[in-house]
A and B are shown apart, each in its own frame.
Chain A
Amino acid sequence: MTIPIYRADESIVIGAIPSHPERTAMVEADGALLLWDELADTIYPAARIFDLDRAGEWLWDIYGAESIRGILTGDEEIDPIAVTSILRTAKRLAHIEWARSWWPESALSSIPPLSTHLLDAEAALHAFAVEHLLDDAESVRRSLSTVDFGQLAEFARHRLLGEEVTELLDRLDDLAEDYGVEPIRTSRPTPVSGLALAAGDMRATSTAAATGKALIDWNLVPAGMIDSAGSARWELARHEGELTLSVSVPAASSTTDVPLTARVGDTDISLERSPDLPFFVGRTVVPTSFLLTRTDQRQPVVHSPVMGRPEDASPELADRHQAILAHARRRLATPDGLLAERIAGA
């Protein structure tokens, strides 16, 4: 497989950098970022190299000993052949990082959440195997200190995969001792909420003058907060003599309490967690002149102010989201997927 190398002042780039954050699986390596495209079926990552001195010590683990000469000497392409266990492990570690950030949990699309405890556990194990090429020398300890061994033990009772979890726990116990991490053990598992179906619409309150739905840019909300297949539904209605604009967004399993806002034109509507339904909902009174607003300017832009400022959504966002949702469904059925994926998909 021929991979091009681009050399610029700032960095050296091997291969094609994945086009969007939600499809980028990354390992922060010593002197370089390794970047796999989640949707592409390639074992070799792209690399953005900032410090070739450092990266030169381990790049041969990724692209093979036969490619390192070309990378170091200014070749314009390499043709790697070898696939080492280190390369496979690094790719898996990148996939875990991707899942932590972009797993598109969705009741509407039947994509269950992944256990963060299992993801943390597998991340620690994989980080240990490739520790020598990671930028952060503390990454194993860092991952281990997030694993809740008590909650992980609950998965050891799993009908099909319990044995594998037990084996994982044994290895993590050894690692925790080796890295001087006092394992966290809480006795009761946090209930991983099942697929609380958010398919129902907001409760009918009055006569709607107009309704619609708008896509939600995943970049603007924290992972696991909203249903990834969900949209922001809005409704303009007369309510007790006033014109009101309501917005509802289907929630996912994360219990994070960061604020969520729907921006409509110049108006910000605060969205609160509904006490009895898996939705974030908000409502505001708008002047009658709002009815004259062009439909495209009435579209709510849902965002959490802790994540960033709303931007104009990219026109291909819906397709990009669909591709990730389909990818997650495939992952759930992959026999050699992560334990977290196999347990969620079982």
Chain B
Amino acid sequence: MAKGDNRSGGEAASSTAPATGLDLTSSTTDCDNNAPHGHVRIDHTGLRLRGVEQAISPHRGVALPRGMVIADAWTQLGDVVAPLSNSSGRPLARTVKLILDPLVLRPVQNPQFAGSAIAIEHVDDLRDRIHAAGPTLGATAEWYQLVKRTRRRAGVTDGNPQDLYFQRCFELAHSNGTPDGITTAAELAAEVVEDVRRSRGDKTVEHLRGYITDPGNVPALNRLLGAAWRDDRETSAGHPDLDARAAFLAACATNPDTEIFARLADHRVGTHEAGELSAEGVARDYGLSTHPRPARPRLGDRASKSHLPPPFDRSILERAFAAFTSVFHRESMADIPALIRQEIHRSAGAWQLAEESSRVAMVLGRDATADLTDAGRTLSRDDARARLRSRWQRQAYVHRVLRLPARTADGLPDDLRADIRQPRRAYLRRLWVRLHGREMRGESMTATAIWDLLDGVMRSVIMDQRDRLKDTLGRGR
């Protein structure tokens, strides 16, 4: 089956869905329990699912799963979007994440498209929006194919093309239509490939290293580092706002409270809570340093992808380098001298981060993982703390099903055993890395993005441990 075949997604043995796709006709305001197949009516009576309930129209109480509406609209775009689809004809995960959500549906501006259920009165609107974007999406797919061919000819293999080119191709499609329509298509595609290659290439990293190790720059940079660590430190500012933190975590997975989050940042809760890091052993217990107390970083003269130390022990070069090895948009990065100066100031900030919203996110991550491995106190199922604990604890079952080592196994390597017993260290380390990466790309942390971040970091820690367990068994990954 070629990619893009079998696009209906409704190969119904008993023909409950029409061959053309899913029966999502929503011009009706049908609230009837006997609505045709494909309609979903959600009653408030007996509903225990708060997240869904909140996404339901308060007036009609009728909603459809968002994935179903998107799948239906996507199907109707036909084969032109096959390069952006999986082999079941659904938009790729990155098509949704990088194109449909931020560039077409824009749920932040259009809250009716946010959440997992779409109220029936907005279903047509969502479908129309995807339909209206159809020509641009089709053109995006054509540009993507062209850019991939160009990349292949140029011998570029580094990085995930979806991450690197999807949004660039959407921009090209938006400005130029299809590549067939303009004579400079080949040049434009080559430009995208070259631009991305240059921004990720060794040359840039070499340039970074050259700048930071240049004897002409080193004294001034060291003076700046010394001054920043002397003058920028703010350890006593802010408030703890313990109740507000708990209240935010209680709802952030289903209904993030933007006001509380803004208040946490205004009250400089992140900065305040960083005060504890200067106490002996705290940063080490959080996995952020190997030293009893975080020390001023060095400028550094080398960096390697595979052996980066814990965040607070990284040199300025290693911190800047890490951002070059992850996905980023070059245009959003500062030039190298400015980037290094920023990094120096950032290193002296609370949590060694620059934005208060990132620091708040670190505090929330710390709070949310405090009793990951304990039975813990009873929390509502939707509470971020309960959800993360549930994800962590159900791994014991998942590992049994996958015939992987039990957490209690004595024969595991010591470092792996320690990481399994104290997952919070790996968690906070990874959370910091993600927040740092966001800062370098100029992306601020928002209330609505917190849960995906907290949950995504947990998933990533779990998958990393699983890979290491498989390595231990010699099973490959």
Same complex origin of A and B: yes
Count of chain A residues with a beta carbon within 8 Å of a chain B beta carbon:
82
Q: Which chain A residue lies CB-closest to B56?
A: A72
Chain A residues positioned under 8 Å from B93 (CB to CB): 131-132, 134, 137
* B162 interface neighbour in A22, A178, A222, A306, Cβ under 8 Å: A178
Chain B residues positioned under 8 Å from A41 (CB to CB): none
Task: Say yes or no for A205: interface residue by CB 8 A criterion.
Answer: no
Chain A residues positioned under 8 Å from B116 (CB to CB): 53-54, 56-57
Q: Given A83-B11, A137-B93, A177-B152, does the pair A73, B47 have CB atoms closer than 8 Å?
A: yes
Q: Which chain A residue lies CB-closest to B161?
A: A180
Near B by CB (< 8 A), chain A positions 173-219 give 174, 177-180, 182, 218-219
The answer on a CB contact under 8 Å between B68 and A50 is no
Task: Say yes or no for B48: interface residue by CB 8 A criterion.
Answer: yes
* Interface stretch (choices B176-184, B289-297, B328-336, B407-415): B407-415
Task: Say yes or no for B473: interface residue by CB 8 A criterion.
Answer: yes
Chain B residues positioned under 8 Å from A58 (CB to CB): 65, 67
Task: Say yes or no for B319: interface residue by CB 8 A criterion.
Answer: no
The answer on a CB contact under 8 Å between A222 and B403 is yes
The answer on a CB contact under 8 Å between A26 and B401 is yes
A146 to chain B, nearest CB (A): 5
B379 to chain A, nearest CB (A): 10
The answer on a CB contact under 8 Å between B459 and A135 is yes
The answer on a CB contact under 8 Å between B87 and A128 is yes
* B12 interface neighbour in A84, A102, A257, A307, Cβ under 8 Å: A84
Q: Given A69-B41, A131-B93, A223-B403, does the pair A28, B409 have CB atoms closer than 8 Å?
A: no
Q: In the complex, which of the residues A9, A57, A100 has the most CB atoms of chain B within 10 Å of its own CB atom? A: A57
Task: Say yes or no for B338: interface residue by CB 8 A criterion.
Answer: no
The answer on a CB contact under 8 Å between B254 and A86 is no
Near A by CB (< 8 A), chain B positions 221-254 give 253-254
The answer on a CB contact under 8 Å between A83 and B12 is yes
The answer on a CB contact under 8 Å between A73 and B46 is yes
Task: Say yes or no for B387: interface residue by CB 8 A criterion.
Answer: yes
Task: Say yes or no for B398: interface residue by CB 8 A criterion.
Answer: yes
Q: Which chain A residue lies CB-closest to B54?
A: A53
Task: Say yes or no for A246: interface residue by CB 8 A criterion.
Answer: no
Q: Given A54-B116, A56-B116, does the pair A180, B160 have CB atoms closer than 8 Å?
A: yes
Chain A residues positioned under 8 Å from B409 (CB to CB): 305-309
The answer on a CB contact under 8 Å between B254 and A81 is no
Task: Say yes or no for A39: interface residue by CB 8 A criterion.
Answer: no
For the residues of B in contact with A, the DSSP-based class is loop
Count of chain B residues with a beta carbon within 8 Å of a chain A beta carbon:
80
Task: Say yes or no for A97: interface residue by CB 8 A criterion.
Answer: yes
The answer on a CB contact under 8 Å between B390 and A10 is yes
Task: Say yes or no for B197: interface residue by CB 8 A criterion.
Answer: no
Task: Say yes or no for A254: interface residue by CB 8 A criterion.
Answer: yes
Q: In the complex, which of the residues A53, A69, A218 has the most CB atoms of chain B within 10 Å of its own CB atom? A: A53
A125 to B1, CA, bound (A): 11
Task: Say yes or no for A256: interface residue by CB 8 A criterion.
Answer: yes
B-facing mask of A147-167, CB < 8 A → 1, else 0?
000000000000000000000
Task: Say yes or no for A52: interface residue by CB 8 A criterion.
Answer: yes
The answer on a CB contact under 8 Å between B412 and A82 is no
Q: In the complex, which of the residues B49, B401, B405 has the most CB atoms of chain A within 10 Å of its own CB atom? A: B401
* Interface stretch (choices B13-21, B186-194, B259-267, B434-442): B13-21
Q: Which chain B residue lies CB-closest to A49?
A: B49
Q: Given A72-B49, A305-B409, does the pair A81, B68 have CB atoms closer than 8 Å?
A: no
Chain B residues positioned under 8 Å from A222 (CB to CB): 403, 473-475
A182 to chain B, nearest CB (A): 5
The answer on a CB contact under 8 Å between B398 and A33 is yes
Task: Say yes or no for A68: interface residue by CB 8 A criterion.
Answer: yes
Task: Say yes or no for B400: interface residue by CB 8 A criterion.
Answer: yes
Task: Say yes or no for A265: interface residue by CB 8 A criterion.
Answer: no
The answer on a CB contact under 8 Å between B406 and A85 is no
The answer on a CB contact under 8 Å between B401 and A129 is no
Near B by CB (< 8 A), chain A positions 101-158 give 101-102, 116, 120, 125, 128-132, 134-138, 141-142, 145-146
* Interface stretch (choices A59-67, A230-238, A292-300, A329-337): A59-67
Chain B residues positioned under 8 Å from A142 (CB to CB): 463, 477
A225 to B51, CA, bound (A): 46
B325 to chain A, nearest CB (A): 13
The answer on a CB contact under 8 Å between A53 and B52 is yes
The answer on a CB contact under 8 Å between B401 and A24 is yes
The answer on a CB contact under 8 Å between A82 and B13 is yes
Q: Which chain A residue lies CB-closest to B23?
A: A65
Q: Which chain B residue lies CB-closest to A31?
A: B116
The answer on a CB contact under 8 Å between B9 and A61 is yes
* B37 interface neighbour in A66, A120, A138, Cβ under 8 Å: A66
The answer on a CB contact under 8 Å between B68 and A60 is yes
* A72 interface neighbour in B23, B52, B94, B254, Cβ under 8 Å: B52
The answer on a CB contact under 8 Å between B473 and A129 is no
The answer on a CB contact under 8 Å between A84 and B9 is yes
* A81 interface neighbour in B6, B16, B164, Cβ under 8 Å: B16
Chain A residues positioned under 8 Å from B96 (CB to CB): 132
A to B CB contacts below 8 Å, 10 in the list: A53-B115, A57-B65, A57-B66, A61-B9, A66-B16, A83-B13, A125-B87, A132-B93, A180-B163, A309-B410
B binding-site residues for A, Cβ under 8 Å: 3, 6, 9-14, 16-17, 22-23, 37-43, 46-49, 51-52, 55, 65-68, 86-88, 90-94, 96-97, 115-117, 148, 152, 157-164, 253-254, 381, 387, 390-391, 394, 398, 400-403, 405-406, 408-412, 459, 463, 472-477
Given A51-B387, A65-B22, 4 other A-B contacts at CB below 8 A?
A60-B65, A74-B47, A82-B16, A83-B13
